[in-house]
Amino acid sequence: MRIKFSAIILFAILISSCGDYAALEAIEVNKKTADSLFRSHKDTLDKSFKTICDSMYKIHYNQAIDSIKQLRIEGIKGLIDPAKEQ
């Protein structure tokens, strides 16, 4: 009885896993489609990313310069009047 039950469970598992091959084939087709779309639009994407990176670089660069200036100003004030140093 136990062997029959185990055989039925094993058979059910094997039959239920048959659909996975279709899913794997679909995933492979989707990868190929995505790769071809990327290759065809790569130049446009490169230009877009370069523009975005350049604009973000300017923002972060200005923030860094401003914070360095503020630190330098506080350091100079500390040298002039050590009692006001934070």
Please give the full DSSP string across 3-53, using - where no structure is assigned. Answer: HHHHHHHHHHHHHHGGGHHHHHHHHHHHHHHHHHHHHHTHHHHHHHHHHHH
Q: Which residues contact 74 (CB under 8 A, 6 or more apart)?
A: 85, 86
Check whether residue 13 and residue 36 sit in a common domain: yes
CA distances 86 to 46, 71, 75, 81, Å, are: 46, 11, 9, 11
Check whether residue 46 and residue 86 sit in a common domain: yes
Check whether residue 14 and residue 50 sit in a common domain: no
Check whether residue 9 and residue 23 sit in a common domain: yes
Query: Mean pLDDT in the chain?
Result: 81
Residue-level pLDDT at 86: 53
Residue-level pLDDT at 68: 92
Domain enclosing residue 86, as ranges = 42-86
Residue-level pLDDT at 1: 65
- Structure pTM? 0.37
Mark the ranges of the chain whose per-residue pLDDT is less than 70: 1-2, 14-24, 84-86
